[in-house]
Amino acid sequence: MIIVYESKTGFTKKYADMLAQKTKLKAYRVKELPKDIKDEEIIFLGWIKAGKIQGLGKVKKHNIKAVCASGTARNAEPDEETVIARNKIKGIPFFYLRGGCLPLKELQGMDKILLSMFLKMLKSRKDKDAKIEEAISNIENGFDGVREENLEPVLQWVSKNK
Ligand SMILES: Cc1cc2nc3c(=O)[nH]c(=O)nc-3n(C[C@H](O)[C@H](O)[C@H](O)COP(=O)(O)O)c2cc1C
């Protein structure tokens, strides 16, 4: 079994590195995946962008045994069922990992535009609760939610399935 991951700003990579260190499995970025590992069992980690787990499509013909997805919120956004359905991974063990985000001003290109639109939408809401205020602050100021304990369910799964 190997770890394969996709990470843009480094939060998912932190989990992949942590998992590799704790399980002694090798971790590869999607684009560094060796060609000769076609049948190898894979635990995949990717970041979520508008509900889509990034990088997963590029390895879907491989032997994926479990999928982890990182986002900024406490729970997968929009919600876990939608992420599972949108990524066609029903039946595969799924783990949400709280990642993080850079301050909006440090993002670039399309990601910055998309997140700015999302921020504007959150700010315009009349029903802002503590969760929405937290999301606004995280996007504006950045946030790092990576914690070792968040990996616990994944480690348990690996120890039973390695
Ligand atoms: C343009 C954009 C769209 C995002 N969409 C989602 C989303 O739909 N659901 C979610 O939970 N997180 C979403 N996020 C948050 C990222 O998934 C989160 O910041 C992730 O931990 C980043 O991982 P990375 O540092 O490995 O790239 C989005 C972030 C950006 C920049």
* DSSP β-ladder status, 94-98 and 63-71: parallel
Query: For residue 67, which of 12, 9, 22, 146 has the smallest C-alpha distance?
Result: 12
Neighbours of 79 (CB within 10 A): 12
Walk me through the domains of the chain, giving residue ranges and CATH numbers: 2-100+145-161 (3.40.50.360), 103-141 (no CATH)
Cβ–ligand 1 distance for 87 under 6 Å, the answer no
* Distant-in-sequence, close-in-space partners of 81: CB < 8 Å, separation ≥ 6: none
How far lies 18's CA from each of 1, 68, 131, 153, 161, in Å? 16, 13, 28, 13, 18
In the reported structure, the alpha carbon of residue 74 is separated from the centroid of ligand 1 by a whole-number distance in angstroms of 12
Q: What is the pLDDT of residue 22?
A: 98
Q: Whose Cα sits closest to atom 11 in ligand 1?
A: 71
Q: Ligand 1 centroid to 36 CA: how many Å?
A: 30
Distance 47 CA to ligand 1 centre (A): 6
Residue 130: what pLDDT? 95
In this prediction, residue 38 carries a pLDDT of: 80
Between the CA of 77 and the centroid of ligand 1 the distance, in Å, is 9
pLDDT at 36: 86
Cis before 78? omega within 30: yes
In 3D space, the residue among 72, 146, 79 whose CA is nearest the CA of residue 111 turns out to be: 72
pLDDT at 37: 85
Q: For the chain, which ranges sit under pLDDT 70?
A: none
**In this predicted structure, what is the pLDDT of residue 41?**
97
For ligand 1, whether the C-beta of 101 sits within 6 Å is yes
Atom of ligand 1 nearest to the CA of 110: 1
Check if 150 has its Cβ closer than 6 Å to any atom of ligand 1.
no
Please indicate whether residue 65, judged by its CB atom, sits closer than 6 Å to ligand 1.
no
71 and 96 in contact (C-beta within 8 Å)? yes
